[in-house]
Amino acid sequence: MATRTRLTPEQRREQLLDLGVRLLADRPIEELSVELLAEQAGVSRGLLYHYFGGLREFLHAVLRRMADELFEATAPVDHPDLVHRLRVSLQNYIGYVRAHQASYRSFQQAAFGGRPEIREIYEEGRAALVNRIFDSATADELAEVGIVDTPASRLLARGWSAMVEDVFMSWLDDPRDLSEEQVIETLTVSLGAILGLVPRD
Amino acid sequence: MATRTRLTPEQRREQLLDLGVRLLADRPIEELSVELLAEQAGVSRGLLYHYFGGLREFLHAVLRRMADELFEATAPVDHPDLVHRLRVSLQNYIGYVRAHQASYRSFQQAAFGGRPEIREIYEEGRAALVNRIFDSATADELAEVGIVDTPASRLLARGWSAMVEDVFMSWLDDPRDLSEEQVIETLTVSLGAILGLVPRD
C-alpha cells in the first residue's frame, strides 16, 4: 500500500496502460478481462473504474497506447535521404509488429470486425503514419522520388500502407524465399513507384 | 405449390442462393435471419435445413456464391494485351463491389472480425483472383510488363490486391479529385510497377 501511494495518479495510469500493452503481447484483446487484470496484476475493478471509467475505456486507452508506440517506434530517423528514412521506419514497423504479433492481429481483427470505436483508433493511427510520410519530407525530397503531395497521392499512400500490412502479415506466416531485407526493400521502393503513377492535373 | 414443385432440388437450391445474394445486397450479413427469409421470401426454417443444413451453412453458401460471382464478373476478357485485360477486370471489380456494397463490406467485416470459416471463404476468393492474374497470362506477356511468376511475386500481388480493395473502398467513400477512370488506371499500372521490384535470385 505504501509503495502504491508513492505514485501520482498520472504515473499509476501510465503503469496500468503499460500493463495492458504487456498483457496484450501474448493474448488477443477479447481475453483482457477484469478477472485477468485482478489475477495477473492485482488490479481491482474499482481501481480500473477509478482511472479509466471501465474495462472498455481501459481497452481503448491501451490500444491508443499501442498505436502511439507504433508511431514512435517508426519515427523518421535523422538522415538526408527520404528513401533511407522510409526503409528504417519499415524496419522498425516490422520489429514492432513482430514483438506484438498476437495483440496487433487482435487489434486489426477488432477494428475490421465491426467495433467502430476500435476501428476509429486504428484508422487514426494509420492516418497518422501515412500523413507523416508527407509531412516529414520537403516537396523537393518528395519530387526526387516522383511523389507530389495531393489528396490523390495520400489516398494511394493509404492503399500502399494496406499493402505493407498485408504483405508483412502474410510474410510472417510464410516467408517464401524472401529475406526480411528483401521484403523491406521491395515495399520501401514500391511507395515511390505507386505514387509516381498518380494523375497530376 | 404447383409452381414450386416444378423445380428440381438443384434449381431450388440455386434459387435460394440467388435470394440470399439479393437479400444481402442492401443489408449486412448479420441481418440474414430465418425470420427475414420467412418474411421476405416465404422460406421456412425446415426448407433451409433441408437444402443447406442450417442458417449458418446457408450463409456460407451465399458468401461462396458472392465470391464466385465476383470471380466470374472479373474474368479476363479476350484481348491480346495483358494490361488491357487487367484494366477491364478492375472496371468489373469496382462495378460488382459498388452494386453489392453493403453486403461486400459485411463479408469483409465478418472475414476479418474473427469468423474463421468466413475468413476462409474470403481468402479463397482472393487467392483465386490473384492466382488467375498469373495463370491467365503467358510468361512472355508477364515479362513484357516486368513480372516474373515466383512465390514472392504472388505474395506481392496479394498485397497489391489488398491495396486495390483499400483504395476502392476509401475512394467510394471520398473520391477526392479522382475520376473512376483515373483510379482504375493508376491501380492497373501499379501492379507491374510493384511486381517489377520483386527480387529475382
A4-32, pLDDT tens digit by residue? 557 888 888 999 999 998 888 878 788 88
Does the beta-carbon distance from A113 to B108 stay under 8 Å?
A: no
Read off the pLDDT band of A137 (50, 70, 90). Answer: very high
When the pLDDT of each residue in chain A is averaged and rounded to a whole number, the result is 91
Which B residues in the span 118-157 are in contact with A, Cβ-Cβ below 8 Å?
150-152, 155-156
**CA gap B86, B88 in Å, rounded:** 5
Interface check for A185 against chain B (CB to CB < 8 A): the answer is: yes
Residue A3: the pLDDT is 55
- Do B147 and B195 form a contact (C-beta atoms < 8 A)? yes
Residues of chain B with pLDDT below 70 are 1-5, 201
Say if residue A2's pLDDT is above 60. Answer: no
Q: Spell out which residues of chain B touch residue A83, defining contact as CB-CB under 8 Å.
A: none
Residue B43: the pLDDT is 86
pLDDT, mean of residues A166-172: 93
Work out the minimum CA distance from B168 to partner chain A, whole angstroms.
9
Q: Spell out which residues of chain A touch residue B113, defining contact as CB-CB under 8 Å.
A: 109-110, 112-114
Closest Cα to residue B91, out of B105, B67, B73? B73
Does the beta-carbon distance from A185 to B193 stay under 8 Å?
A: no
Residue B85: the pLDDT is 96
Does the beta-carbon distance from B166 to A156 stay under 8 Å?
A: no
How does DSSP assign chain A, residue by residue?
-HHHHTS-HHHHHHHHHHHHHHHHTTS-GGG--HHHHHHHH---HHHHHHHHSSHHHHHHHHHHHHHHHHHHHTPPPS-S-HHHHHHHHHHHHHHHHHHTHHHHHHHHHHHHTT-HHHHHHHHHHHHHHHHHHHHTS-HHHHHHTT----HHHHHHHHHHHHHHHHHHHHHHH--TT--HHHHHHHHHHHHHHHHTTS---
HSE on the CB side for B177, CA within 13 Å? 10
Q: Spell out which residues of chain B touch residue A185, defining contact as CB-CB under 8 Å.
A: 199
HSE on the CB side for B198, CA within 13 Å? 27
* Torsion, Cα of B96, B101, B107, B109 (10° steps): 140
* Torsion, Cα of A2, A40, A62, B29 (10° steps): -150
pLDDT, mean of residues A148-157: 94
Percent of chain A clearing pLDDT 70 (strictly above): 97
Stated pTM of the model:
0.90
Closest Cα to residue A17, out of A46, A44, A45, A57? A57
Q: Spell out which residues of chain A touch residue B191, defining contact as CB-CB under 8 Å.
A: none
B115: closest chain A residue by CA:
A113
Longest dimension (CA), chain B: 66
Q: Spell out which residues of chain A touch residue B171, defining contact as CB-CB under 8 Å.
A: 155
Residue B121: the pLDDT is 96
How do residues B39-61 score in pLDDT, each as one tens digit? 888 888 899 999 999 999 999 99
Locate B10 and state its grid cell: 438443384
**CA gap B16, B9 in Å, rounded:** 11
